[in-house]
Structure 1
Amino acid sequence: MARPRPGHRPALSWRIAISARYRRTHAPSTAEAGAWAQVLVHHQLLHAAVLAPNGQWLVQHRVEAPVHVLDGPTAMVGLAAEIQLRIRTTRNRTR
């Protein structure tokens, strides 16, 4: 078995759980979810994100893509976190 190089991390992503840097002490508000939705659309990471009258979010990733329904602010903020994680892991692979 080869010894790891100094500073090299083995590819054990399936074993390592990524933990949040800051644990939330409260549920996200509609205003926070709206701010994240606006940022994601502005940076073209989502095509559209619309708050429905019942509190759900209608999200479309691309123009041709189907519309997904998210159940409230927590799901919208969770989607933003998933997108951020995908961007960060993609950047690290290309470096």
Structure 2
Amino acid sequence: MVARPRSGQRSCPGGIAISARHPRTHVPSIAEAAAWADVLVHHQLLHAAMLTPTGQWLVQDRPESPVLVLAGATAMVDLAAEIQHQVRTTRNDT
């Protein structure tokens, strides 16, 4: 049996639902996603992030890594949240 995500939850590979730390109260705008992309690139947490005319985002972790295509502003903000969480948990471990 595979768990289905409920409101405020997202699924991860393997079918397990993970509760969101802070459920989203609004859909992120392109401007919000662009601001997060700029911050991630500026702080070298992403190598590149580019908005396409279709509203998708092209992101690259490192210069030699493959380019990932994100579906839109929500996916970009979710990626920023994931990276921020990784940075915080890594910082606390050291």
TM over 0.5: yes
| Equivalent residue, structure 2, for 1:55 | 55
Q: Relative contact order (C-alpha < 8 Å, sep 6+): which is higher?
A: 1
Distance 1:42 1:26, change over 3 A: same
Unaligned 5+ runs, structure 1: 1-15
Offset of 1:55 from its aligned partner? 0.3
Correspondences of 1:36-47 after superposition (within 5 Å) = 36-47=36-47
Unaligned 5+ runs, structure 2: 1-17
Instruction: Determine helix, strand or coil for the equivalent of 2:78.
Output: helix
The two structures have a TM-score, normalised by structure 1, of: 0.76
Amino acid at match of 1:89: T
The two structures have a TM-score, normalised by structure 2, of: 0.77
Instruction: Determine helix, strand or coil for the equivalent of 2:50.
Output: strand
Correspondences of 1:1-95 after superposition (within 5 Å) = 19-20=21-22, 23-94=23-94
Aligned pairs, number = 77
Which one has the bigger strand percentage? 2
Distance 2:20 2:30 in 1: 26
Query: Hey, which bits of structure 1, 4+ residues long, moved more than 6 A?
Result: none
Larger radius of gyration: 1
Deviations 1:54-75 (A, max 9, x none): 0000000000000000000000
Offset of 1:19 from its aligned partner? 2.0
Amino acid at match of 1:50: M
